[in-house]
């Protein structure tokens, strides 16, 4: 799954982040890095009005960070991306803007409100699946025990 996220819109919904914080974008990117590692997904997060605009050095292998130039905003970039995407079923748009969410639906993409995505972002990792190679409740029959003793020997007295 690949998410395309309206970054500032999402920051405004996360209780411990603030749009007034000069490091708000970097803090969100850190949370997205953890999210993608946990969920094996990818994210493209678009923020409004970065200088000079374009892909940021904050980007990683699984989190692409884009800043809109002064001439456009994140919503415009996201909507343009929705309309260009050749495989829209592989994407989910995250925004609180109804115009963006409606464009996603019309373009064949799934959409989720930023307020709902916060719960996904905060969900703890799933516990590891049990190791089936060692089952603690294995019970051997008397015949199986006798077979193992015959193969490997028993407790011989010295």
Task: Please state, in angstroms and rounded to a whole number, the distance separating the CA atoms of residues 152 and 116.
Answer: 59
Q: Higher confidence at residue 92 or residue 126?
A: 92
At 158, is the pLDDT very low, low, confident or very high (cuts 50, 70, 90)?
very low
Considering the four listed CATH numbers 3.30.70, 3.40.50, 1.10.540, 3.10.450, the one that applies to the domain covering 2-126 is 3.40.50
153's torsion region: left (phi>0), alpha (psi -120 to 50) or beta? left
The mean pLDDT of 42-48, rounded to a whole number, is 93
- HSE of 128 in the Cβ direction (CA atoms, 13 Å)? 3
Task: Map out the domains of the chain as residue ranges.
Answer: 2-126
109's torsion region: left (phi>0), alpha (psi -120 to 50) or beta? beta
Task: Please state, in angstroms and rounded to a whole number, the distance separating the CA atoms of residues 37 and 125.
Answer: 10
Tell me if 7 sits within 8 A of 25, measured CB to CB.
yes
The mean pLDDT of 136-154, rounded to a whole number, is 80
The mean pLDDT of 65-74, rounded to a whole number, is 87
- The per-residue pLDDT for 100 is 94
- The per-residue pLDDT for 72 is 85
At 35, is the pLDDT very low, low, confident or very high (cuts 50, 70, 90)?
very high
Q: Higher confidence at residue 101 or residue 50?
A: 101
Query: If you write DSSP's letter for every residue of 120-146 in order, what string do you get?
Result: HHHPPPPPPPP-TTS-TT----HHHHH
Task: Please state, in angstroms and rounded to a whole number, the distance separating the CA atoms of residues 119 and 115.
Answer: 7
pTM of the model: 0.73
The mean pLDDT of 38-51, rounded to a whole number, is 86
Single out the residue of 68, 53, 57 nearest to residue 29, CA to CA. 57
Query: Among 22-31, 77-86, 95-104, 125-134, which stretch is predicted with the lowest mean pLDDT?
Result: 125-134
């Amino acid at each position: 799954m690949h998410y395309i996220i309206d970054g500032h819109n999402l920051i405004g919904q996360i209780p411990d982040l603030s749009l007034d914080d000069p490091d708000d974008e970097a803090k969100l990117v850190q949370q997205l890095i953890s999210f993608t590692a946990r969920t094996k997904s990818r994210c493209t997060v678009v923020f409004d009005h970065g200088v000079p605009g374009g892909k940021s050095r904050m980007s990683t292998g699984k989190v692409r960070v884009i800043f809109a130039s002064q001439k456009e905003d994140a919503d415009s970039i996201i909507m343009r991306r929705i309309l260009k995407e050749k495989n829209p079923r592989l994407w989910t748009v995250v925004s609180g803007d109804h115009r963006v969410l409606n464009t996603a639906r019309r373009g064949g993409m799934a959409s989720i409100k930023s307020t709902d995505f916060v719960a996904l972002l905060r969900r703890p990792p799933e516990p590891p699946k049990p190791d089936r190679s060692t089952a603690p409740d294995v019970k051997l029959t008397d015949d199986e025990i006798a077979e193992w003793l015959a193969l490997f020997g028993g407790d011989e007295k010295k």
